[in-house]
């Protein structure tokens, strides 16, 4: 099967947050972007957002093993390293996953650096969203009385 088109990736951006089946079942479709050099910016942007949402959703569901698998698969995208938004968000989610899984405070420093960079460039709303997400996920780990169905969906953002 060919890779998805931009509309299919756009649907996937939101689909990954509501399905209960792990995305790993669909991962080959989402990772494969045939002729990536020939793909338009919009298709790549939607594909990147779908992966970031899948990782976030896994973290909110406390499914760290799937988050790690998604991070590994998503890192195969953006081979030309041109999309800094995707790369920075992926690194943030990677460090957050490692912190949630291990509790090792060394993983919090890059998260705080990411927040500082967002604030420094004037993206205060996104910086606050990241702070809120980190607080929700770290302070409520393992608690079932917290509504974690409000996933930290990564918006479709321009570079």
More confident residue, 1 or 121: 121
- Segment 3-13 shows an average pLDDT of 57
Query: Are 52 and 90 in contact, with CB atoms under 8 Å apart?
Result: yes
| Residue 98 confidence (pLDDT) | 98
pLDDT digits (tens, 9 = 90+) for 62-90: 999 989 998 998 888 777 677 888 999 99
Residue 17 has pLDDT above 60, yes or no: no
Query: Are 148 and 12 in contact, with CB atoms under 8 Å apart?
Result: no
Q: Which residues contact 157 (CB under 8 A, 6 or more apart)?
A: 85, 126
Strands (E), the chain: none
| Residue 28 confidence (pLDDT) | 53
Structural domain boundaries of the chain?
6-139
What is the full DSSP assignment across 51-72? HHHHHHHHHHTT-HHHHHHHHH
Lowest mean pLDDT among 48-52, 85-89, 124-128: 48-52
Q: Which residues contact 31 (CB under 8 A, 6 or more apart)?
A: 73, 74, 76, 77
* Per-residue burial over 104-131, b = 16 or more CB atoms within 10 Å of its CB, e = otherwise: eeebbebbeebbeebeeeeeeebbebbe
Count CA atoms closer than 13 A to 6's CA, side-chain side: 9
Query: Are 103 and 95 in contact, with CB atoms under 8 Å apart?
Result: no
Q: What is the CATH number of domain 6-139?
A: 1.25.40.400
CA–CA separation, 128 and 134 (whole Å): 10
What is the full DSSP assignment across 83-104? -HHHHHHHHHHHHHHHHHHH--
């Amino acid at each position: 099967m060919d890779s998805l088109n931009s509309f299919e990736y756009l649907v996937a951006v939101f689909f990954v947050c509501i399905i209960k089946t792990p995305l790993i079942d669909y991962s080959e479709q989402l990772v494969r972007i045939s002729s990536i050099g020939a793909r338009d910016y919009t298709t790549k942007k939607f594909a990147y957002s779908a992966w970031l949402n899948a990782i976030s959703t896994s973290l909110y569901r406390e499914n760290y093993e799937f988050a790690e698998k998604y991070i590994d698969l998503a890192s195969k995208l953006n081979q030309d390293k041109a999309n800094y938004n995707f790369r920075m968000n992926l690194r943030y989610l990677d460090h957050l996953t490692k912190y949630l899984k291990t509790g090792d405070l060394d993983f919090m420093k890059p998260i705080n650096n990411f927040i500082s960079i967002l604030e420094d460039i004037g993206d205060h709303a996104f910086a606050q969203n990241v702070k809120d997400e980190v607080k929700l996920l770290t302070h409520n780990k393992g608690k079932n009385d917290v509504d974690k169905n409000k996933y930290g969906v990564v918006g479709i953002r321009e570079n």
